Amino acid sequence: IDIADNRFWHSLERGESIELPPARWRFRKWGSVRRDASRLYRLVRLLRPEVIIETGTFEAQGTYALAAAASANNNNARVFTFDYDGDPTTTLPDEAWKELRSIRQSTLDLIHTTSQNCTVEFVEGDTRQILPRFLEERQLTWDLFFQDSMHYYDGILSEWTAMRAYASNRAVVVF
């Protein structure tokens, strides 16, 4: 597979698709849509990564697509997904974050029952603070990094700075 070839990325437009759990958070319409989730699903099916790291779990719809594909690959993949309740760019009430936490947990529970050929671990916290320590302690070499949080320059740079030293020789980053 030559991921540097544009034909590879265009090929992700066709093929298997995935049905996602419905988006339910009433405060913001963020999260994965079926088209993007299906691309992620096909990417994981093609690349067969063994360690996947996702930042920005949100409702866990992207996590659902990653886990479903990893489980279908049946290669004992591990998916680590990071998020926290809060966003430095918004001022939402505590009630909103409590609702999101409940929705996220519901989707993670569904993942654990439907994607049994892989492991999925939710890690709570601000990645700018916990990601460097997490990677150092576990000495993980990752194959796929789905950067879907901190949608601003300093946040992305902080996550990438932590991640790059632990990239495998076949690592792919999706922004």
Residue with more model confidence, 29 or 38: 38
Residue with more model confidence, 35 or 41: 41
- The predicted pLDDT at position 87 comes to 72
pTM above 0.85, yes or no: yes
Contacts of 33 (CB under 8 A, 6+ apart): none
- The predicted pLDDT at position 42 comes to 96
pLDDT in tens, 51-82: 999 999 999 999 999 999 999 999 999 999 99
- The predicted pLDDT at position 10 comes to 84
Helix 127-138 and helix 153-163: axis angle, to 10°? 10
Give the total residue count for the chain.
Answer: 175
pLDDT in tens, 82-135: 998 777 677 888 888 899 999 999 999 999 999 999 999 999 999 999 999 999
